[in-house]
Amino acid sequence: MLIKHRKGWELPESLATPEHMFLDRRKFMGAAAGAAAFLSAGTVRAEEDPSVGLYPAKLNAKFGDAGRAVTAEDFNKTFNNYYEFGTSKQIYQAAEALPIRPWSVVIDGEVELPQTLAIDDLLKKVQLEERIYRHRCVEAWSMVVPWTGFTLKSLVEMAKPKAEAKFVRFETFNLPEIATGQQPGLFSSYPWPYVEGLTMAEAMNDLSFMVTGAYGKPLPKSMGSPIRLHLPWKYGFKSIKGIVKISFVKERPIGLWEAIQASEYGFWANVNPEVPHPRWSQAMEEVLGTGERVPTQLFNGYGEYVADLYTGLEKEPLYM
Ligand SMILES: Nc1nc2c(c(=O)[nH]1)N[C@H]1C(S)=C(S)[C@@H](COP(=O)(O)O)O[C@H]1N2
Ligand SMILES: [Mo]
């Protein structure tokens, strides 16, 4: 993502514009391979995740095939956007410092049943399933990920929102002592914590998925463990990681990227190849790990599920 008044070398989003990626492919592939080697060398002592027995979950056949090959697991967990841990894609090792137990999710705001749920208690209350989704980053790259999780709709029903609740606001942890990207400094003046939001209708859509696992295992920390969102029809920055709070609110939430640069990153952020980002085209995407560039689809190809959410809202900036 980009901040207006910074120098080129400070612009994290510029690391991943398609042009730059082609030039730097060998460099970043090398870094990903290095991280993978580091992992298999066993230098990281991953504590056993207490939820490990819940995986793999049953595949939901409706989302059993994304029409493209699943992105390799080692690639996916070592190539990430997670600005809390740095501005490069190689944050895998830094993210390992995040303590994911104990972990609680606060559900509050305009609800009949406000609650604070320890992650393992939450996992007992929900129906886990696997879904293979396409993921399209605003930086014009994509991946295919076999997520495990539960519908956001089921969590909304657990909270029993009141009529006043119009939006759902998600918030990430704020731990600057662990997540060095959150420390004030040369590379970071972002208004932490990371925040994202949806309308109630979007939250109730069948596609909106609370993710706790991937590749048939608990989610790696680099991918947002212990709990994140995934919204396959929206640009990736809406799919917030490391969630600690879910609030049902009256006003439209302002996300981190919207707060930083509203002219480039909006509330809706639905994928549309015909609406360019102010600094690059969204017509095509690089399918990471394949070397292919393919045309981007409206709503990332999920229009049959979500297009009707936006009827009557055509005057809104739905695609940025
Ligand atoms: N808390 C938090 N969530 C986040 C981000 C982030 O920096 N911090 N980056 C977003 C962006 S831009 C993308 S593309 C996806 C990346 O998810 P992945 O690393 O699992 O591919 O996470 C999103 N969620
Ligand atoms: Mo992204």
**Taking residues 61-73, what's their average pLDDT?**
97
Q: Measured in angstroms, how far is the CA atom of residue 59 from the centroid of ligand 1? A: 24
Please provide residue 299's backbone torsions phi and psi, each rounded to the nearest 5 degrees: 50, 30
* Mean local confidence (pLDDT), 77-100: 96
Taking the centre of ligand 1 as the mean of its atom positions, its distance from the CA of residue 112, in whole angstroms, is 31
Which segment of 6-15, 88-97, 180-189 scores lowest on mean pLDDT? 6-15
Asked if 301 and 135 count as a contact pair (C-beta separation under 8 A), the reply is: no
Helix, strand, or coil here: 259?
helix
Is residue 188 very low, low, confident or very high in pLDDT (cuts 50, 70, 90)? Answer: low
Mutation choice for ligand 1 from 28, 73, 81, CB with most ligand atoms inside 8 A:
81
- pLDDT given for residue 45 in this prediction: 44
CA 279 to each of CA 17, 81, 215, 319: distance values in angstroms, whole numbers, following the listed order: 9, 19, 34, 14
- pLDDT of residue 70 exceeding 60, the answer is yes
Whose structure tokens read 């017509």?
283
Q: Which residues surround ligand 2, an ion (CB under 5 A)?
A: 81, 137, 236-237
Q: Per residue in 116-133, pLDDT tens?
A: 999 999 999 999 999 999
Does 17 reside within a domain?
no
Total count of domains within the chain: 1
Atom of ligand 1 at shortest distance to CA of 76?
21
DSSP code at position 194? P
Using only C-alpha atoms, the chain has a radius of gyration, in whole angstroms, of 19
Nearest CA to ligand 1 atom 14: 236
**Helix, strand or coil, per DSSP, at residue 315:** coil
Whether residue 3 lies inside any domain: the answer is: no
Q: Is the pLDDT of residue 6 over 50?
A: no
285 within 8 A of 142, measured Cβ to Cβ? yes
For the cut 70, the answer to whether the pLDDT of residue 154 exceeds it is yes
Question: Is residue 4 assigned to a domain?
Answer: no
Specify the higher pLDDT residue, 287 or 48. 287
Within a domain: residue 13?
A: no
Could you give the 3-state DSSP secondary structure of residue 214? strand
User: What are the pLDDT digits (tens) for 7-55?
Assistant: 333 334 434 333 233 333 434 444 444 444 444 444 444 567 899 999 9
Instruction: Calculate how far, in angstroms, residue 163's C-alpha sits from the geometric centre of ligand 1.
Output: 31
Which of 173, 239, 261 has the most ligand 1 atoms within 8 A of CB, as the residue to mutate? 239
Is residue 319 in a domain? no
Give a yes or no: residue 18 inside a domain.
no
Which ligand has the nearest atom to the CA of 143? 1
Return the ∠ at Cα 78 (arms to 75 and 82), rounded to 5°.
130
With H, G, I as helix, E, B as strand and everything else as coil, classify residue 42: coil
Using CA positions, which residue lies closest to atom 7 of ligand 1? 82
Residue nearest to atom 19 of ligand 1 (CA): 80
The per-residue pLDDT for 16 is 39
Nearest Cα to Cα of residue 305 among 58, 63, 57, 60: 63
Asked if residue 28 is part of any domain, the answer here is no
Residue 5 has pLDDT above 90, yes or no: no
Query: Residue 99 is part of which domain span?
Result: 33-43+51-307
Query: HSE (CB half, 13 Å, CA atoms) of 151?
Result: 13
In a domain, residue 316? The reply is no
- The enclosing domain of 184 has a CATH number of 3.90.420.10
* Residues framing ligand 1 (Cβ under 6 A): 80-84, 135, 137, 172, 194, 223-224, 236-237, 239-242
According to the model, what pLDDT value does residue 88 have?
A: 92
Confidence of residue 185 (pLDDT cuts 50, 70, 90): confident
Average pLDDT over residues 308-314: 97
Atom of ligand 1 nearest to the CA of 235: 14
Average pLDDT, the chain: 88
